[in-house]
Structure 1
Amino acid sequence: MELERLRTAPAQAIATPRKRLRKLSFTPVDVAPKSKNLKVADTKTDTVLKKLRLARGATLATLIDATGWQPHSVRGFLSGTVKKKLGLCLVSEVGKDGVRRYRLVGKAKAD
């Protein structure tokens, strides 16, 4: 009866071998020690927002140097993320020196 079942069973079910699990070996040296004094690195978003919150604001060149982004990426971030997604009030002003500065005013833009 067992032979009968094996003959009628699909070939795939019989021929499929069991998968072997590979053992992962590691030593305690591979694992970084847990420390409570680790400071979380600031993201580029945090860096840009800190510079925009300065009283004088930040120029495009300053933001490019801080993030390593291209000028069009910084402008897109200011428009898309800062103004639209975060809803912050971003002001763009040209100073007496002819340099455009961006800064945040207040906490949220008025709707």
Structure 2
Amino acid sequence: MPKTSTAKQTTKTEKVVELLKRSKGASLEELTKATGWLPHTTRAAMTGLRKKGHTVERATIDGVSRYWITTGT
């Protein structure tokens, strides 16, 4: 019997977008823990989001780089 699921599973990219849309954004460490990706893969995913029209900003706060989405889809 085939499995049926009514709940939509969140992709890792969707999880990254969710974290980046928070008011405080997310650190690279938070993003890698949430996805299980290596840091270079996580940064590449943010580049992909930029190519899809998102504006990803970066700032250093208390010595830690934080990223967030400011505009886009």
Q: Same fold (TM over 0.5)?
A: yes
* Structure 2 Cα separation of the partners of residues 33 and 42 of structure 1: 18
| Equivalences for residues 1-111 of structure 1 within 5 A | 31-32=1-2, 34=4, 38-79=6-47, 81-84=48-51, 86-95=52-61, 97-107=62-72
Q: Which amino acid aligns with 1:100?
A: S
After superposition, the CA RMSD in angstroms is: 1.5
Structure with higher RCO (Cα < 8 A, 6+ apart): 2
Change (3 A) 1:55 1:34: same
Q: Which amino acid aligns with 1:87?
A: G
Change (3 A) 1:73 1:34: closer
Greater Rg, structure 1 or structure 2? Answer: 1
Gap runs ≥5 in structure 2:
none
* Structure 1 Cα separation of the partners of residues 63 and 3 of structure 2: 51
- How far apart are 1:106 and its partner, in Å? 1.9
Percent identity over the alignment? Answer: 33
Q: Which amino acid aligns with 1:56?
A: K
TM normalised by structure 2 equals 0.90
String of CA shifts for 1:66-102, please: whole Å, max 9, x gaps. 10001110111111x1111x1111100001x111000
String of CA shifts for 1:22-50, please: whole Å, max 9, x gaps. xxxxxxxxx13646xx2011001110000
TM normalised by structure 1 equals 0.61
Which structure carries more strand by proportion? 2
Gap runs ≥5 in structure 1:
1-30
